[in-house]
Structure 1
Amino acid sequence: MAGVLGVIVSGRTPIEVVPVTETEFTCEIVNADSINHVVVFLTGIQPFPDGLGGSVYIRWPSSNGDDSWHYLGFICNMKPSAIFKVAQLHKSSAQHSGVFGGGMQTYASGSAQIGIMIEPLTSIEGRQAAEGTQVNQHSTLVEFAEKMIRNLVNHTESFSVRLQNPQGGFQDYIPISAFQSWYNSFSRRFEANPYFWRNLNNN
C-alpha cells in the first residue's frame, strides 16, 4: 500500500508516508513543536480494503524512551481525509503504549512522528481521541444530524394525510406508524453500515 497515504502540515509540502509493515505506516514531521494542524488523507491511488480504516497517532521523542502515542482519530473510505489539531499536544501525556510493533523508528528531538495503523473499523469506532484534536468532529456531527432529520422528514411526509381540523379548515397529519417504520429502516441500515448516511440523497 505504498503511496496510499499522505500527510500535510499547513504551509509545508506533502510528507511521504512510508510502510513499516503491511498494516503500519509512519512519517516524520520536522520542526514539529510549532505546528498547529495536521491533515492525514488517502491519496486516491488505492482505497482501504472493505471494513478497514486507518487509525492515526502522533508522538514526540521522549527523553526516558517512553513509547506512548496520542490517538488523533481515523480515516476510512467514507472519510478519506481528516484534520487534527495538534498544537500544544506535545506538552501533554500520551495515553497509548504498545500500539505499534518494534519497527517504528524514533526520530530526533524537535520532530514528531505520525503512525497510522490499518485495522478493522469495528475496532476503531468509539476509540477516544486525545482531547482537543478533533477539529472536524463538530461538523461531522452536524452533517449527520442534518441528514438524519431530513431523511426523517422526507420519509414521514410521504405518509401525511389531510384531514379536517376540529377548529375549522384542514390540517396535514402524520401517523405514528410512519415514525416507527422510519426508525426501523434507519436502524437496520445503520447497523449494516454506520456510514451509510453519508450517501443519503435527501433532495
Structure 2
Amino acid sequence: MLGTIPFPERMGGSVYISYPDQSGMPVWQLLGFITNEKPSAIFKISGLKSGEGSQHPFGTMNIPQTPSVAQIGISVELLEQLAQQTPIVNAAVSTADSFTQFTQKMLDNFYNFATSFAVSQTQMTPNPSEVFIPANVILKWDPGSCLSIFSGMSSLVVIHFFL
C-alpha cells in the first residue's frame, strides 16, 4: 500500500474505519473502495455514528482496547465483491453547502490573520521589495464569484489514499 505497486488484476481494496464504542470494542464501518482505475478516494468521516458497524473482514483482532484509537483497514477483494458492498451513508462526499461554509470560515480566518498585522500609513517603514495591499480591498472582493467555481465540490478532505 505504498502507492508504487498496483492491485492485482480484477482486485481492489475496501476501505474501513474503526473507532471504539462505549465499551472500548472496535466498530468497523465501510467507507468505500479504491481500485487501480480509481486509486484515490476522499471520505467524510465527521458524520459517522458511533456504534453503528458493518460486516468486515478483520475478525476480532488482538488489539489493546484504547478508547481513543481510530484505525483504517483496507481489505483486498475481487472487484465483483466491491461492487456489491454498500458503504455507510454518512461517509458519502459532502455537499457544496458544507464546502461553502468551510471556505467562508477559512476566508474569515485568513482576513482576521492578515489584518492582525495592519499598520497605519505613518507606521509603515519604506521597503522597495515589499508590496502593500490596502486591507479594505479584501472587504470589497466578492467571494461569491470564486465560490461558484467550486459549487460541485466536496468539503473537507479527511482521508485520502494514493496507490
TM-score (norm 1): 0.41
Q: How does 1:149-160 map to 2 (within 5 A)?
A: none
Partner of residue 52, structure 2:
94
- The Cα of 1:107 is off from its aligned counterpart by 5.7
1:128 pairs with 2:81? no
**8 Å Cα contact 2:24/2:65 also seen in 1:** no
Count of aligned pairs between the two proteins: 95
Aligned partners of 1:50 and 1:102: how far apart in 2? 29
Aligned partners of 2:55 and 2:86: how far apart in 1? 14
User: What secondary structure does 2:20 align onto?
Assistant: coil
Structure 2, unpaired ranges of 5+: 95-163
Q: How does 1:1-203 map to 2 (within 5 A)?
A: 4-5=1-2, 43=3, 45-89=4-48, 91-97=49-55, 99-103=57-61, 105-106=63-64, 108-135=66-93
Which piece of structure 1 moves more, 100-109 or 56-65? 100-109
Aligned partners of 1:64 and 1:107: how far apart in 2? 9
Q: 1:52 to 1:77 in 2, by over 3 A?
A: same
Aligned partners of 1:126 and 1:96: how far apart in 2? 14
Cα deviations across residues 60-92 of structure 1 (Å, max 9, x unaligned)?
Answer: 112335443111000000000000000031x34
**8 Å Cα contact 1:67/1:97 also seen in 2:** no
Q: Give the structure, 1 or 2, with the largest relative contact order (CA under 8 Å, sep 6 or more).
A: 2
The code of the aligned residue for 2:90 comes to G
Q: 1:68 to 1:129 in 2, by over 3 A?
A: same
- The Cα of 1:109 is off from its aligned counterpart by 2.2
The code of the aligned residue for 1:87 comes to S
The code of the aligned residue for 1:110 comes to S
User: What secondary structure does 2:28 align onto?
Assistant: strand
- The Cα of 1:127 is off from its aligned counterpart by 1.3
Cα deviations across residues 104-149 of structure 1 (Å, max 9, x unaligned)?
Answer: 625622221111100111111031111121218xxxxxxxxxxxxx
Aligned partners of 1:107 and 1:127: how far apart in 2? 28
Structure 1, unpaired ranges of 5+: 6-42, 137-203
Q: Which has the higher strand share?
A: 1
Identity of aligned residues (%): 40
Cα deviations across residues 146-195 of structure 1 (Å, max 9, x unaligned)?
Answer: xxxxxxxxxxxxxxxxxxxxxxxxxxxxxxxxxxxxxxxxxxxxxxxxxx
